[in-house]
Amino acid sequence: AFAIGFSDGGVNEADAARRAATELRVPLDVVETTRAGYLGGWSEALAQLSEPVANPGLRLVDLLCRRVARSHKVVLTGQGADEPLGGYPRHLAERLYSIGRHSRRLSGAAARAFLGPEAGRRISRVLTTPDIIDRFVQILAVIPPADVDRMVRSPAAPALELARSAVGRWIGAEVDDRLNALLRVDARLSLADDLLIVADHFSMRHGVELRVPFLDLALLELVERMPSGYKVSLLGERKWLYRQAARELLPKALGDALCGWRARVGRKHGFTVPTTEIFAGGNSALVRSTAWARAYALHDHISVAEGAREDPRPQRALHSLVGWASAVA
């Protein structure tokens, strides 16, 4: 098995991988990086990707695939489990929408307590949006469409109009299961247009083939036919059926940690970037460093001037383009 983590900040995913490998008696190869190493290689990794996918994990995928290539050509990855099976807090937001919309303040406070301040703000926005397409746009949008229009030149249409068109394509005329509709959209947008692009690019760049068992077409077809209650329970337990099955197959210590109540409703971890330390605050590593922003400046459709209008430092004004940093939290 292979894992990656930060040795100098916040939650280190490599520690969890070591515990799991010990319980499962699996040999483990760990890559550990630092905040400085992460930021130092961001610009190069983003430029290699050739498109501005704002995913803070792309540098980690790059480093991990580079290590894997030393010894293996084919590896399995757990990508694709969360989108069809309901693993993200945004899926919980849709499950609880019919209840939470009646008490937006209380729901937002609960989200902040369990999932962090950014999740609380996003859930509050979601609960004030009754139209299903607009609500799904709010759920998936990390950067407000108005800010996108200000910083990204698009000759096609305003960001909100484009987003509504992309989301509406996968919803259909009649929706009898709102959460299943969101999961279908999520699998075809954020999974296909973000996570899989990053994984495919860096794995192929290093000569590694990533295979995704959770996206086996027969399995995906079966999962998408299941009622959404098997994915996010009425009590808000994420990946309910999957965790029920996995708990019986894992050693007890792992089963309790990965499939217990806290794991089903708490904050999601995985490819964890110490985004609070790197991206937040006036003296953060992001503000002090300009290397990460250079790759964005290579793209003609990103307006550095517009992004810097209110703040003359482009690297600070453009940090919202790395918006997945806040979404991961």
pLDDT in tens, 122-143: 777 777 788 899 889 888 887 7
Q: How confident is the model at residue 192 (pLDDT cuts 50, 70, 90)?
A: confident
Whether 214 has a pLDDT exceeding 80, the answer reads: yes
- How much is the average pLDDT of 262-281? 69
* pLDDT for residue 312: 38
Structure tokens at 189: 């947008």
Whether 287 has a pLDDT exceeding 70, the answer reads: no
Give whole-number Cα distances, 3 to 61, 94, 272, in Å.
10, 31, 11
Q: How confident is the model at residue 283 (pLDDT cuts 50, 70, 90)?
A: low
**Alpha carbon distance 123, 120 (integer Å):** 5
Of the listed ranges 56-65, 242-251, 258-267, the one predicted with least confidence: 258-267
* pLDDT for residue 141: 80
Which of 10-24, 271-285, 306-320 has the highest mean predicted lDDT (pLDDT)? 10-24
* pLDDT for residue 315: 40
* pLDDT for residue 100: 67
Whether 183 has a pLDDT exceeding 80, the answer reads: yes
- How much is the average pLDDT of 50-62? 79
What lies within 8 Å, CB to CB, of 195 at 6+ separation is 55, 79
Of the listed ranges 67-71, 225-229, 278-282, the one predicted with least confidence: 278-282
Of the listed ranges 160-169, 247-256, 286-295, the one predicted with least confidence: 286-295
**Alpha carbon distance 135, 97 (integer Å):** 10
* pLDDT for residue 321: 45
Whether 1 has a pLDDT exceeding 90, the answer reads: yes
Whether 278 has a pLDDT exceeding 60, the answer reads: yes
Mean pLDDT of the chain: 79
**Backbone φ and ψ of 106, nearest 5°:** -65, -40
**Alpha carbon distance 185, 190 (integer Å):** 8
Alpha helices in 187-239 (DSSP H): 196-205, 217-225
* pLDDT for residue 24: 95
In 3D, which of 73, 64, 75, 70 has the Cα closest to residue 3? 64
pTM for the whole thing? Answer: 0.81
Whether 329 has a pLDDT exceeding 50, the answer reads: no
Percent of the chain with pLDDT over 90: 35
> How many CA atoms lie within 13 Å of 55's alpha carbon, on the beta-carbon side?
22
* pLDDT for residue 108: 64
**Alpha carbon distance 243, 159 (integer Å):** 37
Whether 322 has a pLDDT exceeding 60, the answer reads: no
- Does 230 or 274 have the greater pLDDT score? 230
* pLDDT for residue 105: 66
Q: How confident is the model at residue 84 (pLDDT cuts 50, 70, 90)?
A: very high
- How much is the average pLDDT of 157-162? 84
Burial 223-256 (b: 16+ CB within 10 A, else e): beeeebeebbbeebbbbbbbbeeebeebeeebbe
- How much is the average pLDDT of 224-239? 92
